[in-house]
């Protein structure tokens, strides 16, 4: 182990091949394997030799530090690169939730912070959205509009995951509230898709556009309806979202909820005045859509609200769709209803 601590690669090579080879995972008194020691000390050549000899790249200390975390704590940029190139997990975390990105930030290793961000480390994911951690990263030079391969900024990541305090910190630091990822989702849309009501409120209070839309035309209300997030639907309606907004295939929020099968969202939308006979591109009304998908409680709610049983979608009535799809309870309900 002394050879590893000191980065003596020739000695390491001899030990690896001589006398049957050293125990490559043998820990020292503190539980550190040779690879953990090499990473901590920034002995990049030793890191490569040990990995080539089969050392476990995700070996951990008692506190959960991996070799990449060790290198990040010490700002060992060459070792960080070697470990990332070898496939080290960039979001590995200690028992306390520290990731490599946060480890570098806590210790002011700006170059390491930049390297980890460039490799895809997420600001918001650090320490589960902990606001102090985000502040440290920003102070360490992390770009507030850094994006993942899918175009998610830290604010978008916070919105997807419902980290409301992180949203506040990022907005206060100047994050763009309408920044969109590659499909056109803004932070408000991200929160709506996931039903993150606290995040929705925080973003609306901060001035997020309630009618922002994706490339496919989905608004936050449509996003919430598609996923049956009833509380989010009600919140967005109360904030003034257009109840008859449509996406590229002419689905309204009521139609989206009908396809999804969310009877509670259907009830909220009907109470708010949604058109019960709205049709999408294929001619389906909410009742026909619900019957085709087999959503019996939605069918009940729509019938009770006066939906037409004569409407058709793709040439079939709701009853005909239910019958052909084997939804006998719905077919009987429509026949008698």
Domain ranges of the chain: 1-123+130-141, 154-169+183-248
Model pLDDT, residue 239: 99
Rounded to 5 degrees, φ, ψ at 179 are: -60, 135
The most confident of 33-42, 147-156, 210-219, by mean pLDDT: 210-219
Return the number of other C-beta atoms located less than 10 Å from residue 211's C-beta.
12
Average pLDDT (108-120) is 85
d(CA 234, CA 266): 11
Architecture category of domain 1-123+130-141 in CATH: Alpha Horseshoe (1.25)
d(CA 284, CA 288): 6
Model pLDDT, residue 162: 93
| Least confidently predicted of 37-41, 266-270, 329-333 | 37-41
Surface-to-core class of residue 329, CB atoms within 10 Å of its CB (0-12 exposed, 13-18 middle, 19+ buried)? exposed
d(CA 63, CA 330): 57
Instruction: Report CA 316 to chain centroid distance, whole Å.
Output: 39
- Residue, of 97 and 327, whose pLDDT is higher: 327
Q: What is the CATH number of domain 154-169+183-248?
A: 1.25.40.20
Q: Rg of the Cα trace of the chain?
A: 28
Residue 19 has pLDDT above 90, yes or no: no
Average pLDDT (110-129) is 75
Q: Output the CA angle 331-335-337, nearest 5 degrees.
A: 110
Average pLDDT (27-40) is 83
* The two three-digit tokens of residue 180, written as one number: 């969109």
3-state helix, strand, coil in the chain (%, to 5): 55, 0, 45
pLDDT band at 103, cuts 50/70/90? confident
- Same-fold call for 1-123+130-141 versus 154-169+183-248: yes
pTM over 0.85: no
Model pLDDT, residue 125: 55
Rounded to 5 degrees, φ, ψ at 325 are: -95, -5
Can you name the residues that pair with 312 across neighbouring β-strands?
317
pLDDT band at 278, cuts 50/70/90? very high
């Amino acid at each position: 182990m002394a050879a590893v601590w000191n980065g003596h690669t020739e000695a390491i090579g001899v030990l690896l091949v001589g006398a049957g080879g050293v125990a490559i995972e043998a820990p020292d008194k503190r539980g550190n394997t040779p690879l953990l020691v090499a990473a901590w000390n920034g002995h990049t050549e030793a890191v490569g030799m040990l990995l080539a000899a089969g050392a476990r790249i995700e070996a951990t200390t008692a506190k959960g530090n991996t070799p990449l975390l060790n290198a990040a704590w010490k700002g060992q940029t060459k070792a960080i690169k070697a470990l990332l190139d070898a496939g080290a997990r960039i979001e590995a975390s200690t028992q306390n939730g520290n990731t490599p990105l946060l480890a570098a930030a806590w210790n002011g290793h700006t170059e390491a912070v930049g390297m980890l961000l460039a490799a895809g480390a997420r600001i918001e994911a650090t320490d589960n959205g902990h606001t102090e951690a985000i502040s440290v990263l920003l102070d360490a030079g992390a770009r507030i509009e850094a994006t993942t391969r899918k175009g998610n900024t830290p604010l978008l990541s916070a919105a997807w995951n419902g980290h409301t305090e992180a949203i506040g910190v990022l907005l206060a630091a100047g994050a763009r509230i309408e920044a969109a990822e590659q499909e056109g989702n803004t932070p408000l849309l991200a929160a709506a898709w996931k039903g993150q009501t606290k995040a929705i409120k925080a973003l609306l209070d901060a001035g997020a556009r309630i009618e922002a839309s994706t490339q496919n035309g989905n608004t936050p209300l449509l996003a919430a309806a598609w996923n049956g997030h009833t509380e989010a639907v009600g919140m967005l309606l109360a904030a003034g979202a257009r109840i008859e907004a449509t996406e590229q295939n002419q689905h309204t929020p009521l139609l989206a909820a009908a396809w999804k099968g969310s009877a509670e969202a259907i009830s909220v939308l009907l109470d708010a005045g949604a058109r019960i006979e709205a049709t999408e591109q294929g001619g389906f009304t909410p009742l026909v859509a619900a019957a085709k998908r087999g959503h019996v409680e939605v069918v009940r709610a729509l019938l009770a609200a006066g939906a037409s049983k004569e409407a058709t979608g793709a040439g079939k009535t709701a009853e005909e769709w239910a019958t052909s799809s084997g939804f006998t309870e719905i077919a009987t309900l429509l026949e008698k209803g």
